[in-house]
Amino acid sequence: MRVLAAMSGGVDSAVAAARAVEAGHDVVGVHLALSRMPGTLRTGSRGCCTIEDSQDAWRACERLGIPYYVWDFSERFKEDVVDDFIAEYAAGRTPNPCMRCNERIKFAALLEKALALGFDAVATGHYAKVVRDADGRPELHRASDWAKDQSYVLGVLTEQQLEHCLFPLADAASKADVRAEAERRGLAVASKPDSHDICFIPDGDTRGWLAERIEMEPGDIVSAEGEKLGEHPGAHAYTVGQRRGLGIGRPAPDGKPRFVLEIRPKSNEVVVGPERMLDVVQLTGIRVSWAGRPLDEAERGEPFPVLVQVRAHGDPEPGTARVTEGDDGERRLVVDLDEPMRGVAPGQTMVVYQGTRVLGQATIDSARSAELAASADRSPDAR
């Protein structure tokens, strides 16, 4: 099988490529150039797409004896990931750029080009696995090492894409074992630290980065009941669940800290209140997609049990899901939680599971807090 190995420059992708070679596949390595900013070096950077990363990827391919190429996807990355990130924050939502990158770059643009060039599959260093059902259709499942499982960020993959995905690290026992294997194979990246944070914000200062790209428009900080408590320099600088830096001069009547409960982009308001109001009981998602064949219940609009995860390293929580249709004709995934979930923001991705299987995902459009909704209804300015 002809396999295109996506080489990030890290230890996981290097070992994944090595395993693909060892399995007898005809492997070609490719590193994606996602930024045209000169001088983007690892020093002081916490992302995954630096100049040194491309050099590390090249050295790994040299060691494995496979061809190596760099593909320039910087323009598409800017449009599909960076610009989307800015637009989502400007609209008062909290996006996950890694999800968009996997969806639109690594498993859309990259896979599309790979297939056009005659490759059969794209191999990556993600910790996840593809399992075939009784009819031979692909399903996405969690990796053997749940501590490193990355099925959440792959929840955007479709059945057609899963047909051409290869995850050689699916059954890796642990990250420590992968590093030890890289050492045995003579790969220089064996002890390279993991990347983290957003690759196009290398210093990790998301608020400062956004301030240079979104016009700051002052507005009001209000209570859940609609009372004005203070002013903010720009709503996009706040996130649901935030406690510090609210800039409210007077304390809450009960003396307890306030938290950001909601961002209202239309009125440019930041809603704050007690921590208990962060508890949500229902999630509604748009842009629904299925990682493989949808459940029959989902197709019929019937309820089905799920585990829902809203963060890459968050714990899955039980609930009951159903697919509905909005006034605009778009499908929506609604999940009623068995127990309240804290601090969920519109724009986040919810991935739903049954056991280890990823059923699909949706972008959270609303997260309903029973207490916050009741407070808004009591407000004379209820919106």
- Say which residue the tokens 């070992």 belong to: 15
Rounded Cα gap, residues 350 and 348, in angstroms:
7
pLDDT by residue for the chain (383 residues), tens only, comes to: 999 999 999 999 999 999 999 999 999 999 998 876 544 444 444 445 677 889 999 999 999 999 999 999 989 999 999 999 999 888 888 888 988 998 899 888 999 999 999 999 999 999 999 999 999 999 999 999 888 999 999 999 999 999 999 999 999 999 999 999 999 999 999 999 887 668 888 777 888 888 888 888 899 999 988 999 999 988 887 889 899 888 787 788 888 999 999 998 889 999 999 999 999 999 999 999 999 999 999 999 999 999 999 998 889 999 999 999 988 889 999 999 999 999 898 999 999 999 999 999 999 999 988 776 555 555 544 44
The catalytic position among 48, 61, 165, 199 is 199
Residue 199 is a catalytic residue? yes
Catalytic hit among 48, 49, 61, 101: 101
**Domains of the chain as residue ranges with CATH:** 2-191 (3.40.50.620), 215-273 (2.30.30.280), 277-373 (2.40.30.10)
Whether the predicted model's global pTM rises above the 0.85 cut: yes
Catalytic, 98? Answer no
